[in-house]
Structure 1
Amino acid sequence: MKKLLEVTNLTKAFDESGPVVDALSFSVREEEIFALLGPSGCGKTTCLRLIAGFEHIDQGSVSIAGEMLGSPTKHIAPQDRGVGFVFQDYALFPHLSVIDNVAFGLTDIPKQKRNVYAEEVLCRTGMGDYKDRNPSELSGGQQQRVALARAIAPKPKLVLLDEPFSNLDAMLRESTRKEVRAILKKAGMSALLVTHDQEEALSFADRIAVMNEGKIEQVGTPEEVYYHPKTQFVAQFLGRTNLFWARASGGSEVHTNLGPMNLNCKAKGNVLCSIRPEHLTLEKPTTQHPDEIGTVVAREFKGHDITYHVQLKEEKYLVHTDNRVIFEPNDEVVIKPLESAVILEGKN
């Protein structure tokens, strides 16, 4: 699949405290939904604004479909980049009807045809019946779809989404997310989503770049970054995990507090490892060595699964099991790995 957006060594600083975006490089393919995921203040929204042309680039470049749009010596205006933008607060014009909001940016279409085309786009987003309403008469999810319709109506090469679901409640957020993804896929558009919500990125994007302090720590599919994190930050930011040090002797197995455990690759020396709580389970002690027996100190019943907090020697471990694995606080248990531990980048 061809690359549509190319970001190369993108750098931006607003003062002498250092760059907010620090030599960022990544690409977005045609018809791909890509997410920049990271905590507040990591530079992801600044990156989006640099791509959109709302900010000037200090170093590096932004290209779309092979055309250079931004660099330290070149700056194409936002309206001339062929990019759609969905803001966090939707930014709909309150004095215009829904259809007039969508038709507003259709300057390349003859005036008498704009409303016809705008209505077609609204129908594609399920908002055709609301064309004559004002934004104040719509729910948050409906406003979101109108904002998306306005962004895709001019047929941009790329749609930029800045925390677009953060103002919706949990249930509406999930349904709107599914609807927006389906609309983008049906339209065959590329999109770049900025979010701090791990679940949102994992369920919405085809690929994810995990950002931390202005840099990208890992890029991959949702499955790759979740199951095979490269760094401690990625492992912890994408969900709960168990971290531990182990001594490897060159093979793909180490001995840990939990007993022998497989690694995702061969290693030698002290290695920092991660294993997700759902990749562990609990069993009753049988013939285990006393050092491998832990104690349940707390449990969180969640209906479809249970999270156990287990004390083993000086360490606490999290274990997610299905609701058929039943233990109570103070029960003695043995923690058993179901998958290999993942080696993280760290000091030996």
Structure 2
Amino acid sequence: MKDLLTVKNLTKSFDENGPVVDHLDFTVREHEIFALLGPSGCGKTTCLRLIAGFEHADEGEVRVEDEVLESPSKHTAPQDRGIGFVFQDYALFPHLTAIENVAFGLTDIPKYKRKVFAEEVLCRTGMGDYKDRNPSELSGGQQQRVALARAIAPKPKLVLLDEPFSNLDAILRESTRKEVRSILKKAGMSALLVTHDQEEALSFADRIAVMNDGKIEQIGTPEEVYYKPKTKFVAQFLGRTNLFHADATGSSEITTKLGPMRINADADGRILCSIRPEHLTLKTPGSEQEEQIGTIIGREFKGHDITYHVLLNGEKYLVHTDNRVLFEQEDPVVIKPLESAVILEEKE
């Protein structure tokens, strides 16, 4: 698939405390939804603003197809980049109706055609029946779809989404992001989403770049970054996990406090590993002498599943099971791995 957006060595500082965006490299492909995922303050929104043209880069470049839009020697104005932008607060004009908001940016279309075209785009986002309402008369989810319609109406090559679902309640957030993803895919558009919400990135994006302290720690599909994290930060930020050190002897099997376990690659020496709670299960101790017996010290019942906190050999482990694996507080248990542990890179 052809690359649409190329970000190369992108760097931005605001003061002497160092770069907020630190030599970022990534691409967004045609028809792809790409997410920048990271905690507040990691630089993801600044990166988005550099791509949109709201900030000037100190180093590096932003290129859409073969055209350089941003570099230390060139800065293309936001309105000339051919990029759509959906703000966190939607930024709709309060004195304009939904259809007038969408038609506002259609400067390349003759005036007499703008409202007809705007109505077509509103219908694609499911907002055709609300075209004559002002933003104050719309719910948060409806405003979000009008903002998306306004962004995609000029047919930009790329749409930037800055935490677009964060102002919605949990149920509306889930349904709206499904609708927005469907709209973008049907329109064949590329999109770059900025979010701190792991579930949102995993369910919405085709690929994810996990950011930490201005840098990208890993890029991959949702499955890759979740099941095969490269660093301790990625493993912990993408969800609950169990971290432990072990001594490897050149094979894909190690001995741990849990007992024998497989790892995802051959290794030698001291290694740091991660295994997700759902990749472990519990059983009642049997007669095997080599079994390591732990104790249930906590239990979180969630209806369809249960998370157990287990103390074993002085270490605490999380085990995530379905609701048919039933144990109570203080029960003795044996932890059994269902999948291989993942070796993590350890920073100097």
Normalised by the length of structure 2, the TM-score is 0.99
Shift of 1:65: 1.3
| Deviations 1:142-186, CA, capped at 9 Å, x for gaps | 000000000000000000000000000000000000000000000
- Give the secondary-structure state (helix, strand or coil) at the position aligned to 1:4: strand
Alignment-derived partner of residue 60 in structure 2: 60
- Percent identity between matched residues is 80
Alignment-derived partner of residue 311 in structure 2: 311
| Deviations 1:41-82, CA, capped at 9 Å, x for gaps | 000000000000000010000000110000000000000000
Alignment-derived partner of residue 135 in structure 1: 135
Shift of 1:313: 1.3
Alignment-derived partner of residue 191 in structure 2: 191
Alignment-derived partner of residue 275 in structure 2: 275
Aligned AA (2:96):
L
| Deviations 1:109-133, CA, capped at 9 Å, x for gaps | 0000000000000000000000000
Q: For the Cα contact (< 8 Å) 2:279–2:338, is it kept in 1?
A: yes
- Give the secondary-structure state (helix, strand or coil) at the position aligned to 2:203: helix
Alignment-derived partner of residue 78 in structure 1: 78
Is 1:220 the counterpart of 2:204? The answer is no
Distance across 1 between alignment mates of 2:66 and 2:267: 41
Distance across 1 between alignment mates of 2:216 and 2:127: 37
| Deviations 1:225-264, CA, capped at 9 Å, x for gaps | 0000000000000000000000000000000011000000
Alignment-derived partner of residue 300 in structure 2: 300
Alignment-derived partner of residue 6 in structure 2: 6
Alignment-derived partner of residue 116 in structure 2: 116
The 5 A counterparts of 1:87-102 are 87-102=87-102
The 5 A counterparts of 1:194-205 are 194-205=194-205
Is 1:22 the counterpart of 2:22? The answer is yes
Aligned AA (1:240):
R
- Give the secondary-structure state (helix, strand or coil) at the position aligned to 1:272: strand
Is 1:174 the counterpart of 2:174? The answer is yes
Q: Does the C-alpha gap of structure 1 residues 276 and 163 become closer, same or farther in structure 2, counting only changes over 3 Å?
A: same
Alignment-derived partner of residue 147 in structure 2: 147
- Give the secondary-structure state (helix, strand or coil) at the position aligned to 2:343: strand
Distance across 2 between alignment mates of 1:314 and 1:191: 47
Distance across 2 between alignment mates of 1:66 and 1:188: 20
Aligned AA (1:180):
V
| Deviations 1:74-116, CA, capped at 9 Å, x for gaps | 0000000000000000000000000000000000000000000
Q: Does the C-alpha gap of structure 1 residues 41 and 338 become closer, same or farther in structure 2, counting only changes over 3 Å?
A: same
Aligned AA (1:65):
E
How many aligned residue pairs are there?
A: 348
Q: For the Cα contact (< 8 Å) 2:285–2:291, is it kept in 1?
A: no
- Give the secondary-structure state (helix, strand or coil) at the position aligned to 2:105: coil
Q: For the Cα contact (< 8 Å) 1:291–1:313, is it kept in 2?
A: no
Alignment-derived partner of residue 246 in structure 1: 246
Unaligned runs of 5+ in 2: none
- Give the secondary-structure state (helix, strand or coil) at the position aligned to 1:239: coil
Q: Does the C-alpha gap of structure 1 residues 316 and 289 become closer, same or farther in structure 2, counting only changes over 3 Å?
A: farther
Shift of 1:314: 1.1
Distance across 2 between alignment mates of 1:72 and 1:158: 22
- Give the secondary-structure state (helix, strand or coil) at the position aligned to 1:19: coil
Distance across 1 between alignment mates of 2:98 and 2:261: 58
Supply the RMSD in Å over aligned alpha carbons: 0.9
Is 1:336 the counterpart of 2:336? The answer is yes
Distance across 1 between alignment mates of 2:256 and 2:218: 27
Alignment-derived partner of residue 257 in structure 2: 257
Alignment-derived partner of residue 345 in structure 1: 345
Alignment-derived partner of residue 229 in structure 2: 229
Distance across 1 between alignment mates of 2:346 and 2:26: 24
Shift of 1:288: 3.7
Q: Does the C-alpha gap of structure 1 residues 347 and 148 become closer, same or farther in structure 2, counting only changes over 3 Å?
A: closer
Q: For the Cα contact (< 8 Å) 2:263–2:343, is it kept in 1?
A: yes
Normalised by the length of structure 1, the TM-score is 0.99
Distance across 2 between alignment mates of 1:272 and 1:327: 29
